[in-house]
A and B are shown apart, each in its own frame.
Chain A
Amino acid sequence: MSFTTMEQLKTIGRELAMGSQGVWGSSKEFLELVKTIGEAKSKAEEERIVLAEIESLKRRIQEPDVPRKKMKEYIMRLVYVEMLGHDASFGYIHAVKMTHDDNLLLKRSGYLAVTLFLNEDHDLIILIINTIQKDLKSDNYLVCCAALTAVCRLINEETIPAVLPQIVELLNHQKELVRKKAVMALHRFFQRSPSTVSHLFPAFQERLCDRDPSVMSAVLCALYDMILVNVKPFKHLVASLVSILKQAVEHRLPKSYDYHRTPAPFVQIKLLKILALLGTGDKAASENMFNVLGDILKRSDSTSNIGNAILYECVRTLTSIYTNPRLLQNAAEITAKFLKSDNHNLKYMGIDALGRLIKITPECAENHQLAVIDCLEDPDDTLKRKTLDLLYKMTKANNVEVIVERMVEYIRNISDNHYKTEISSRVIELAERYAPSNQWFIQTMNQVFEIAGDLVPQKVAHDLMRLIAEGAGEEDEDADSHLRSSAVQAYLQILKEPKLPSILLQVISWVLGEYGIADGSHSAEFIIGKLCDIVATRPGDDKLKGYVVSAITKICAFEKAAGQTVDLIPECVSFIEELYASHSTDLQQRIYEFHAVLKLDRDTIASILPMDASCEDIEVDKDLSFLNSFVESALANGSRPYLSDNERRGMGAMTTLASNNDAGTSSLLRFQPYEKPSIPEPAAALVTASHYSQDAIDQHDIYSSTITVSTSSRAPESSSNDGTRLKLEGVQKKWGRPTYTPEAQVPKNPINISDSVKVSSSAAGKEASSRNSSAPPYTERKQPSQEISAEKKKLAASLFGSKAGETKAKPAAKLQQNGTSKKAPAKPTSPPAPAPAPPPADLLDLSDSLPQIPSVDPVDQLADLISVDSSAATSTTSLVEQVLDAGKVATKGPSPQASLQKDSVSRQVGVTPSGGTNPDLFKDLFG
């Protein structure tokens, strides 16, 4: 390979050109180390090298009289050790010492190492403060700058006062570099502790007019953060800032601030950000800005990245400040351009910009339907997620079904828990806010549960159970019971799936326990069998077992109350037997309660565990008045009257011994649960028992204790819900949308949609509207649409189409069908017209072409090489010639001459030119 030959040639040249002493003071040993690290082929190999290095450094850094230059090298080696993921704290103190050095390079290297090693709360910092103070006073402004740079990293709230006065002084230093860094140091203090510099606002403003643009731009960094906290004190700056921006835009800053011929783009962007803050909700301030913003839109070069970056920032500003229709129109055009671009980065920016625009002009989304859908279906995950963000922002009642479905589909396919959590919480939020029907809501929640499982907060599960229990919160019992039995059906379906998350199983257990036999279509034995199956899938899950035991208890109680006998199936018996000896006291309590309940007579059972009473209020008689007669008769029989805790303590000293048995012990060991054993008697007390136990389960988790399960009395404010995911086909059937599954095994109880569709009370009071939208029965069968563009159009219609109130629901529902039943909606099957996967015009990556060696004729390069080497070192020449003879030379960068020369001067390692080295190390970063 001619390429490798070239590298070898360079290496040889390098070796020859350098002696053992490096140009910049690095020893051969150091270079050797770096070289080995650079050539390590695996993490493991790198690890070995670093571990060996740590051992050797530990030893050598302790030696007395290490020369200062050598020490600097050791410290850089420590930096390597930490950078590669190992602890180098054994050498921190030496880095601290190096900051004392008189030599500027050594001092700055010391500061650098310290800032890399220590965080601002480290104990060693205190040793540096003194040095910093001294350096801030130095006559050498570079020393000052080194100290200021360190201040920005090492000073914390407590040490600010130690350096603040000196730094304020430096604001007026004659060197602009020092002024700039002093501003940044104060900026840092503001970040750490705003109050320490709040008296300096005028000084900042003065620096804003500094004659040096770099100081001014540093002030902008500080201003931005200050304005972010509080806009008011800075309102008067609008005019000055606008004028600075104008000057920058008009190219009046020195040429050296240009970047790719764009004038001071980073300053422009910072200013735009600040103006956005200042102009928010302020018409007068905004009007000051319109001119210059218009200017920027006109002047910025939309063919370069940096030009587009400014344009994008301008759109952001325009969407934050008081609106100007004409400029907003321009912003929309720019956004459109971004979205139409083939470049993915621009599309991404376009989606973001669109998300900002629709906050002001929601209509504009419609113009970009297809572009948005392309992005949504793009294989690029970043783009897709950004588009989901956009959809989230534009969700309304009429498109919630499609959007939620997209989101659910997305989380189904990712494994990153962070985003699963984030997006599923969004799904829950949207579903709660816009759910068209309770059934849809429950179904959606089930999907979320199934996919995101235990990432979903427990509260969501409780809200879902409550929703099922309360139904629509109206007096329509039929609809409610219908909802419940369809929930039971759905859950029985779901149970056929393997590996369900615990939280979903808890919901299922509760629902089966409460409503499993309510509509009479399932026998108690059947439901109990299912419940036992649930336990079998997750043997170690005590919390789940608790739910199951309570469910079984309820079913048995219902049966008995109805005058039936329940024969427990063998699995159930063995499951129960086991629990008597459970390690969990909670489970034991439940199982003993279960037994106790079963022994009671029919009427008592009916009153302690009534059917479907989970939402009834429980009257708690806190005074235990029903015990009055018992107490009275006890007193009459000579018992001592009850003394409260306090009373008892008051007399404690006297009665210690005497009362030890009762009062004494009880005050030590009184835990509430002990009071319960009095259960057997009154029915009323018992009602609570089962509920208590339910609560007990939930004490495991934070939210629960009140909301829980069966409990009765909670106010139904929010009907949030969540669900794990359902097996969709089944669900759809059961949920009464016979359309989805062609066979349409219409549920036993044909669902009357208008009945069952009830808006959950929490669904943001949208009852009316949601009812309308769900009114059209879902009768259409989905026609498998062949051409994608048609499908896309449909998707577009359902996402964006905001007209025709009634028709809306239809396309949405249809799409949902498509999506869910197919699971993988026809994706990038290359739509003909809109061209979703365009050949990426890559504006960005200069180096992309690099890996494939530029095809330059090697022979052309020879001449250059010769001339280089002859000028560099005589001995290299001969080497070059040798290689020439071999006739293969490849080129590296565009200017082999320059790079070879530099190589020979500045890189002096003995890198052995074996084929095994890492040629990438030498590759110019720029092609």
Chain B
Amino acid sequence: MAIRFVLLVNKQGQTRLAQYYEQLTIDERRALEGEIVRKCLARTENQCSFVEHRNYKVVYRRYASLFFLIGVDSEENELAILEFIHCVVETMDRYFGNVCELDIMYHLEKAHFILEEMVMNGCIVETNKSNILGPIQLMDKSF
């Protein structure tokens, strides 16, 4: 399993979206999120976008006030994950239109649906934006 978690955290360290592909208790998640965010916030912009934490490699990227973090195992291609983050944001941007933090908060389930289409079982399964958004937009219409 390659991707172990996807996290969206703002620069105050508040979690905006969390999806884990392995089993952790609420307390473990809380601790993990706190530690990782602290690490990432401490880094400067020209340092690597990768941080090792415990057994994870965390790839992160900042968009405005939001950090997107993806925890992966050691076999993963960090640079590709970095671009995958961008692909996620682009997809959200296409769906929400100029996506901002509040869009994700109001429509948390939609953000999750997008992620569900893109990552399954910890694998990147889809990056084609029409394939990702098609079913979600259909569902919106049916509502």
Contacts and interface: CB of A to CB of B under 8 A. Distances in A.
Interface of A: 24-26, 31, 34-35, 37-38, 40-43, 46, 76, 79-80, 82-87, 103-105, 108-109, 112, 116, 119-120, 142, 145, 149, 152, 177, 180-181, 184, 187-188, 191, 214, 217-218, 221, 224, 254, 256-257, 259-260, 265-266, 269-270, 273, 305-306, 308-310, 312-313, 316, 344-349, 379-380, 382-383, 385, 418-419, 839-840, 842, 844-848, 850-851, 893, 895, 898-899, 902, 906-907, 909, 920-927
Interface string B85-129: 011010011001111111101111100110010001101111111
A846 B142 contact: no
A850 B103 CA distance: 18
Nearest to B132: A214
A455 B3 CA distance: 30
B77 A269 contact: yes
A344 B17 contact: no
Nearest to A113: B109
Contacts of A181: 120
Contacts of A79: 108-109
Contacts of A925: 63-64, 66, 89, 92-93, 99-101
Contact of B143 (A34, A105, A145): A105
B46 A842 contact: yes
Interface in B33-67: 43, 45-52, 54, 61-66
A33 to B, nearest CB: 10
A180 B100 CA distance: 30
B78 A907 contact: no
Contacts of B120: 149, 152, 181, 184, 187-188, 218, 221
A76 B107 CA distance: 9
A847 B62 contact: yes
Contact of A221 (B30, B45, B65, B123): B123
Nearest to A218: B125
Contacts of A312: 77, 79
Contacts of A349: 78-79
Contacts of B52: 382, 385, 419
Contacts of B109: 76, 79, 108-109, 112
Contacts of B54: 418
A839 B46 CA distance: 8
15 contacts: A24-B140, A80-B108, A84-B14, A85-B26, A85-B29, A104-B142, A108-B109, A142-B138, A149-B116, A177-B134, A266-B124, A419-B52, A844-B49, A907-B103, A922-B101
B139 A142 contact: yes
B1 to A, nearest CB: 7
A76 B23 contact: no
B23 A119 contact: yes
Contact of B108 (A46, A76, A119): A76
A220 B129 CA distance: 19
Contacts of A921: 65, 100-102, 105
Contacts of A345: 48-50, 78-79, 82
Contact of B98 (A26, A145, A273, A893): A893
Contacts of B142: 103-105, 142
Contacts of A26: 106
B84 interface: yes
Closest 6 CB pairs of A and B: A840-B46, A920-B65, A309-B79, A925-B63, A221-B123, A309-B80
A851 B10 CA distance: 13
A418 B125 CA distance: 32
Given A187-B121, A218-B125, A259-B87, A845 B50 contact: no
B113 to A, nearest CB: 7
Nearest to B121: A188
Nearest to B10: A920
A269 B112 CA distance: 25
A191 B121 CA distance: 9
Contacts of A184: 120-121, 123, 125
B143 A214 contact: no
Q: Which of A180, A312, A921 has the most CB of B within 10 A?
A: A921
Q: Which of B54, B92, B102 has the most CB of A within 10 A?
A: B102
A119 B96 CA distance: 30
A844 B82 contact: yes
Nearest to A899: B98
A921 B100 CA distance: 6
Contacts of A419: 52
B121 A152 contact: yes
B63 A846 contact: yes
A73 B33 CA distance: 25
Nearest to A349: B79
Given A79-B109, A218-B125, 14 more contacts: A38-B102, A86-B26, A112-B109, A180-B125, A187-B123, A312-B77, A345-B50, A346-B79, A847-B63, A906-B97, A909-B106, A923-B64, A923-B65, A926-B63
Contacts of B100: 921-925
Contacts of B116: 112, 149
Contacts of B82: 305, 309, 345, 844
Interface string B1-31: 1000000001111110111000100110110
Contacts of A87: 26
Contacts of A116: 19, 112
Q: Which of A34, A345, A895 has the most CB of B within 10 A?
A: A345
A84 B33 CA distance: 10
A927 B143 CA distance: 32
Given A87-B26, A184-B120, A382-B51, A906 B46 contact: no
B23 A383 contact: no
Nearest to A188: B121
B131 A848 contact: no
A405 B11 CA distance: 37
Given A40-B14, A269-B80, A345-B50, A217 B97 contact: no
A922 B103 CA distance: 8
B139 A108 contact: yes
Contacts of A847: 62-64
A577 B1 CA distance: 60
A180 B127 CA distance: 13
Contacts of B62: 845, 847-848
Contacts of B23: 119-120
B64 A221 contact: no
Q: Which of B15, B46, B61 has the most CB of A within 10 A?
A: B46
A156 B66 CA distance: 34
